[in-house]
Amino acid sequence: MHLQDKYTELLRNYIGDKGTIYFYWKGRVALYALLKSMGIGEEDEVILPAFTCVVVSNAILYLGAKPVYIDIDSDSYNTSLQNIQKLVTPKTKIIICQNTFGLSCDIDLIVNYARSNNIYTIEDCTHGFGGNYNNKPNGTWCDASFYSTQWNKPFSTGIGGIALLNNMQFQNNLEIINKQLLKPSFKEEKMLRALLFTRKNIITPSNYWMLLKLYRWLSKNKLVIGSSGGDEITGTNMPSDFFKATSKTQIKEGIKSIELFPILLKLRKENATIYSEVLKANGKKYVGEKYRANHSFLKYPILVKNREQFIAKAETAQIELGEWFCSPLHPVLENELYKWGMKATNFPVALHISRHIVNLPTDTNNIEKVKKFILDTIVDIL
């Protein structure tokens, strides 16, 4: 069987047999292709949460459309229908619903509302592969969805993106657009293979922190393939090599990586339940049952009084905290948000959360160590 067909078949175990699957170099490329296939361009407005990664906003801006940010709900870390309705205009063409950290928004309500107002919906499942909302897999609710297989995502191919098109009226457009995808270069594939090899064979708990810092510095300076090269997060102009296809390396890695996914998913859910219990027992903010029942729990969000100090304590205790989303448009600094048409003070909930959030690791095999760390630092947690 062709490798891509095998990968598709494995993905189908989690996202059902409907819709058509397409592969890309990164998740953001999948989003860009979907928006383009839906005819998004100048004058159009696209609604998205004010608590996301800047590359989501950039995919909209690259097409000349306007991102319209919506404040989030503090329990689900996602947008609510109520907040969306306030900002819908005749120019609204798309609503992006996100699975932040694996949690869902009330997607059924949002999709029903969008349909009755002739607005299309796209589900950002970059954190939510493998989760469900009301027994329907993440990614199957909207007209289309996209997933990421970047390093820290539900399962990983180093970098990588997948689109699931559910509304077939856009299939022809999407397939024409996909013909323009650039092929990854030999050098890019070779570098990706080297990074995957390093992660598997060279990273150890003792050199993890040093190598992570080195990788981030190298990728920021475009010296290795990173999740985001400089201009993808520092500005709003589309890099000339942005629209890139997947590679054989990513497809092969996806096939291997997805085999471990059920074990990881189970572990993440179990650990999330333990974190909720510990936080609840100590009177701290925790993710409620409603939001965690069927979700994939890529990360476990907590809010802390002083993030810098908390992260320093975690490094000393060798706890790998996630640092998403430290700004309403991660990782853009608050004073730079205007470049993306955002005024952070218009989104008080997202702003507060982005100033205080850290993420506990849900894929740890040493939950006792993290539990002890939580209890040791409980006064620092909000």
Binding interface with ligand PLP (CB under 6 A): 26-28, 52-53, 55-56, 98, 124, 126-127, 148, 150, 161, 227
Query: Nearest distance from residue 47's CB to ligand PLP, in Å?
Result: 14
- Least distance in angstroms from the C-beta of 375 to ligand PLP: 29
State in angstroms the smallest separation of the CB of 283 from ligand PLP.
Answer: 30
Unique residue bearing structure tokens 């095999």: 365
- From residue 301, how far is each of 2, 212, 221, 238 by CA, in Å? 39, 21, 29, 31
Closest-by-Cβ residue to ligand PLP is 27
CB-nearer residue toward ligand PLP: 97 or 174: 97
Q: 36 in helix, strand or coil? A: helix
Find the shortest distance in angstroms from Cβ 232 to ligand PLP: 8
Q: How many C-beta atoms lie closer than 10 Å to residue 42's C-beta? A: 8
Q: Which is nearer to ligand PLP, 195 or 278 (CB)?
A: 195
What is the smallest separation between the CB atom of 200 and ligand PLP, expressed in angstroms?
20
Query: Could you tell me how many residues make up the chain?
Result: 382
> Which residue's structure tokens are 């361009």?
41
Tell me how far, at minimum, the Cβ of 96 lies from ligand PLP, in Å: 9
Q: Considering the complex, what minimum distance in angstroms separates the CB of residue 277 from ligand PLP? A: 27
Residue 60 vs 314, nearer CB to ligand PLP: 60
| DSSP class per residue in 223-277 | SS--SS-HHHHH-SSPPTT-SBB--HHHHHHHHHHHHTHHHHHHHHHHHHHHHHH
**How far are the Cα atoms of 31, 99, 206, 335 from residue 244, in angstroms, in the given order?**
12, 24, 35, 31
Collapsing DSSP states into helix, strand and coil, what is residue 121?
strand
Residue number with CB closer to ligand PLP (27 or 130): 27
Quote the CA–CA distance of 250 and 7 in Å, as a whole number. Answer: 10
Question: Nearest approach, Cβ of 256 to ligand PLP (angstroms)?
Answer: 18
Relative to beta strand 144-148, strand 161-165 is antiparallel
Nearer residue to ligand PLP within complex by CB, 26 or 66: 26
- Classified as helix, coil or strand, 332 is coil
Cβ proximity to ligand PLP: between 161 and 229 the closer is 161
Name the region of 330 (left: φ>0; alpha: ψ -120 to 50; beta: rest): beta
Residue type for position 41? G
Q: Which two tokens stand for residue 193?
A: 């293979």
**Closer by beta carbon to ligand PLP, 55 or else 103:** 55
Give whichever of 232 and 278 is closer to ligand PLP, judged by the CB atom: 232
Cβ 27 to ligand PLP, closest distance in Å? 3
Rg (CA), the chain: 20
Toward ligand PLP, which CB reaches closer, 100 or 140? Answer: 100
